Structure formats: C-alpha cells, structure tokens
Amino acid sequence: MTTTLPPPAPRSSAPGRSRPATWLLVAGLAVAGGIHLAVGVQHGPMTSHGGFFLALGAAQAALAVAVGRDAPEQLLRLAAALSAAVVIVWAATRAPGISTDAEAVGPLGPDRDDHRSRYRHRRPGAAAGWPPRRAAQAAQLARRRRGGPRRRPSHVHDLVPVRAPPSRPR
C-alpha cells in the first residue's frame, strides 16, 4: 500500500500576501529602477553619483523581476527595506542644513547648465580648471544670466563677436 503526498501549494497563496499588492510592488520597483537608470546617465560629470544611481536602478529592476516570479518572503522584505532606504536617503539629501551636494542636484536630477553649483562662490569656469579665456567667457555668460553688466575683458574680444550698438537716426 503506497500513499502519495499531495502537491505543495503554490507560493502565491501564502497567507497575508495579496496578488494586487505584489503587482503594485513590482510596478513600483520597475518604475523606480527605470527612473534611477535614467538619472544615472544624466549624472555623467559626477561619476560617483552616476554609478550609484545605475547600480541602484539595476538592483531595483532585478528585484522587480524576482518579486514578479513569486519570490520568498525574505526577498519581499529586502525589496521593502531597499525602497525605504532610498526614500530616507533622498529625503535626507534635501533636508535644509545638511552639507551635501543637494544644492547641485534638484529633486529630479542635476542642473544641466551648471552641475558644479557648489562652486558658485568662485569664478565660473575656474573651478572646472578651464583655461583663462574659457573661464572669462563662462563668467560673462553667468553675469548675463544674472542680469549683470555686459562688459568684456580686453582679452575676450577676439573670441566673442561684438555686436554694434543700435544706430540712432541723425
């Protein structure tokens, strides 16, 4: 007389886990992973930040795939802990009074015009190690953006075309 054991129950019927909540977690991880991968590419000048975002995006995308395939409870807890840690780090870098590079990076990514905004107290271009002529042009553009005077140093005239003042009728 042989007895056979019943087949094991599928993992998705684990107590306390609802299928819509699992798919919501998968969608959230996939969207967050895609956003972090895209933001990582935008952080090209700051390689440490870009590498962090690329690694985080890849980890979130991998977790989304794993959770979508009926992952064990431990992996769900890991995904929840990673997501909570990301939110905490994001909030901490935007808190006032904390000296981080948060001034250089807004909530949606780096400023495209001036990714080195932490050096605003210095001459624009000098912080980047540009040659003096290029630094002078950067300073001129920065003054123009702030609405300052449009005076050109004498050594910049050969690089920047000078517009003639508007002629007045006589």
What pLDDT digit, counting tens, does each position of 33-91 carry? 888 888 888 776 778 888 888 899 999 999 989 888 877 888 888 888 888 888 888 88
Q: Is 4 contained in some domain?
A: no
Q: Is 169 contained in some domain?
A: no
Q: Is 104 contained in some domain?
A: yes
Q: Are 156 and 137 in contact (CB under 8 A)?
A: yes
Report residue 99: phi and psi, to 5°.
-85, 95
Number of domains, the chain: 2
**Average pLDDT over all residues of the chain:** 70
User: Of residues 92 and 135, which shows the higher confidence score?
Assistant: 92
Pseudo-torsion of CA 35, 41, 42, 45, nearest 10°? 150
Residues 25 and 106 in one domain: yes
| Residue range of the domain that includes 144 | 122-156
Q: Is 5 contained in some domain?
A: no
List all residues 6 or more positions away from 36 whose beta carbon is below 8 Å from its beta carbon: 53, 54, 56, 57, 60
Residues 34 and 106 in one domain: yes
Question: In which band, very low, low, confident or very high, does the pLDDT at 115 lie, cut at 50, 70 and 90?
Answer: very low
- 3-class DSSP state for residue 109? strand
